[in-house]
Structure 1
Amino acid sequence: MAPNLECRMYEAKYPQVDAAVMIQVNSIDDENGAYVSLLEYNNMEGFIPVTELSNRRLRSIHKHVKVGRIEPSLVFKVDETKGYVDLSKRRLSPEDIQACDDKYNKSKLVHSIMRHVAETVNIDLEELYVNIAWPLYKKYGHAAEAFKIIATDSDLVLDSLAPAVSEEVKECLIKNIRRRMPVQPLRIRADIDVTCYHFDGVVHIKDALRRAEAAGNDECPVKVKLIAPPRYVVTTQTLDKKQGISILSEAIKACKEAIEKSKGKLVVKEVPRVVSEVEDKMHADQEKNEGVMSSGDEGEEEEEEDTGLGDVDVENAGQGIIVD
């Protein structure tokens, strides 16, 4: 049997008074007003009295409402017993309109994803809302904000929903979110010190750093950048936080094993972690200053870039290396 794919977007059955909601005009009564559907409430019927269409005197109601038009409207009366919702256009402020547009667009995206998941796994849409979307609205303010987190770190959000949500539903939800809500990859970095005080130490360091880069893959490439000897930063970008941290950990392990075979040393100064855009810029500025200090009169200034070992030249990598 086909699942029921009809459901309101929010847990509350009726909107609150003074809330801005998105409506679609169904029909117009020239004498009384307009009959509308509340799109976020499973097309619940509402009514805009003619006196609530405009602050100005109306010459023609059709200049203010048109059948089929979708626009915000403000709730000013709710009768849950009779199921009546009265709305107003004239009481809307520009801020109400903007907030309603933003909320509706996010809610519509969430609803589309939830509906597709319900159809794919053959489950009633309201059941999915009860177990997933409505709890996320409560916890994150809007389910769309939770979906953004799921796109990059699904366990952080979905583990709190278990066991009500099956693995099949989780996998389908994650797949749809990542397809419909593309996000910027997470930037993950680790800071390491690599030294080698033996003959051909420069060569051994470069070989060890190449081993680190080789630990990456197409989905999670690893890059190494020289900051100031012996400090290097190892980075990757990925949509999967767990995978990114795991890959960087493996990269550091491979680098450590390689340099220790050559009687060198690797010390982890900062373990793999996600860095925000603000932190990333802060690190880049700090590393730029360190680069200036370490370059002396040569005036070399470099911001951190994902350019790989091309930046690890023999002369710079060899600073601080003592040849026996």
Structure 2
Amino acid sequence: MRLILAPMEGLADVYLRRLITAQGGFDRVVSEFVRVVDQRLPERVFYTVCPELLEGGRTRSGTPVRVQLLGNHLEAMAANAQRAIELGSDGLDLNFGCPSKTVNRSQGGAILLREPETLYRVVRSVRRALPEGVTLSAKMRLGFEDTGLMFENAAAIEAGGADELTVHARTKVQGYAPPAHWHELGRLNEQLNIPLIANGDIWTVDDYQRCCAITGTTDVMLGRGAIRTPDLARRIRKPDHTALPWSEYRVLLAGFWSEVRAQMPDRYCAGRLKQWVNHLRQAHTEAEAFWHRIRTERNVAALDRLLLDLD
């Protein structure tokens, strides 16, 4: 069993990565993507996206963090992969799954699932640039419009030299609409010679168990489920583990807000808090009540007071 925290652009930032991994249970974190165009990026770009590189490539609770790259320029992807490893990344991950229209228009992310040969060339270029023994992973979706190239895309990534493959169980067109198609991952797993990591709609321990039974793998990447339930990985490892009470969430929210307030400009703080609470309220009735108290508030001093009065 391996449990990995997913790279969720604009959501699983360093603040939530610290908070969630501190609850225990995760083997690894994949960072938000570093966008590669046509050049080797300066170190500050990597440190901005993945501040954990300044702390030995681990979260404060000790969970290894792997940098993810997004792009298609062979030489630039190779050069930036080398830089990520030099800066302390725990292996290297490639993004072939981002559904963002902006990213896809610039020939990055899921749009490459239309071109298995391009996937192969990108993976091969990065693999050749990495030192021996460094793990290269990739993440993809079932396809772009449909699953017609699912097997070819996975085979291309494997042939290019990836050591493991995470697959989100939807196409780009399907976005995040339920359900996740775990049965497709089961079909794919039968054809792969490298480990498959399942991703998509694992909200609970029961979901994890059903996903494993259908896909044939116990390795999963947790995304929005871990945002809603920060101790989900620990509960998967120990199903009898008592769920966090709301009193603990109050502590987590206060700590999260404190870090955000200390490190982000005031104009972004309110939105960052609301974004997480909006996810929490999908699973916690107490968060729903708190959401209604903060959803129209923009003043950080007022939010300070609301956090102090949180019950």
Q: Same fold (TM over 0.5)?
A: no
Q: Structure 1 length normalisation: TM-score? A: 0.24
TM-score (norm 2): 0.25
